[in-house]
Amino acid sequence: MSRSSALRRISQFESGACLALATRPKSRSARINTAVATITNLKLSAATRPNSMPAVVMRRNKLAHRIWEQTELVKAQQAGTPFAPTRFRTVEEKDTGL
């Protein structure tokens, strides 16, 4: 560091430009107390996530999935390999109803 840059830093510090450095607590306990004081001043609120997706998003995802299936089917036909997408089926048992 040159002498002129060191003098510039000292003048900035004396003028208050580096006030944050001057007011920083020195000890660990003082830093912890400052952090705790900052945390206690925060205002927290409960955030709830939606339980289900909106209908528009569900339709969009379904359409994107169908388009993906079609592109995979075309790729498989071009390569000469079979493509069998996984399908999910919900089945209810007649005796238990589940």
- At 30-83, the pLDDT tens digits run 888 888 888 888 777 777 777 788 999 999 999 999 999 999 999 999 999 999
The answer to whether residue 46 is domain-embedded is no
CB 34 within 8 A of CB 24: no
pLDDT the model gives residue 15 = 54
Taking the alpha carbons at both ends of the chain, their separation in whole angstroms is 77
Residue 5 in this model has a pLDDT that exceeds 80: no
pLDDT score, position 44: 76
**Domain, as residue range, for 16:** 3-39
Residues 58 and 83 in one domain: yes
Q: Is residue 23 part of a domain?
A: yes
Residues 58 and 86 in one domain: yes
**Is the residue at 76 inside a domain?**
yes
Higher pLDDT, 47 or 92: 92
Examine residue 33 and state whether it is found in any structural domain, yes or no: yes
7 vs 27, more confident: 27
* Domain membership flag for residue 85: yes
